[in-house]
Amino acid sequence: MNSLNIDSMLRYLYNEMSAEESQSFMRMINGNAAMMEQFAEMKEGMDLLNSLLLSPSPRSVDRIMAYAAVNGLSMQ
C-alpha cells in the first residue's frame, strides 16, 4: 500500500475530502479488494481509538501544576 493511498484513506475517515473527492475515493477502493480490506482495517482501528476514554491521572495533573508553579507559569 503506498503512502498516497493511506493519506487518502485518512483524509476520507477524518472528513477532509470534498464530496466529489469522497465519491471518487469510494469508487476507487470499491474496485480494489486489497485497498478495501486495508481501508476496513484502518476504519476499525480508528473506531476503536475513538471509543477509548483517556484522561491523565491525578498524579500527572499534580506534577504539571507543580512544574508550572515552580516555573512561574499561569494555569487558568
Domain count, the chain: 1
Residue at 49 is within a domain: yes
Residue at 37 is within a domain: yes
Residue 16 neighbours by CB under 8 Å, 6+ apart: 10
Residue at 76 is within a domain: no
Confidence of residue 76 (pLDDT cuts 50, 70, 90): low
Residue 22 neighbours by CB under 8 Å, 6+ apart: 12
What is the per-residue pLDDT across 5-63, written as a single tens digit (0 to 9) for each?
A: 899 999 999 999 999 999 999 999 998 999 999 999 999 999 998 888 888 899 999 99
pLDDT of residue 1: 58
Residue at 75 is within a domain: no
The pLDDT of residue 3 is above 80: no
- Distance between CA atoms of residues 30 and 55, nearest Å: 38
Residue at 21 is within a domain: yes
Domain range for 21 is 3-70
Backbone region of residue 54 per phi and psi (left: phi > 0; alpha: psi in -120 to 50; beta: other values): beta
The pLDDT of residue 4 is above 90: no
The pTM of the full predicted model, rounded to 2 decimals, is 0.63
Cα angle vertex 31, ends 1, 40, to 5°? 55
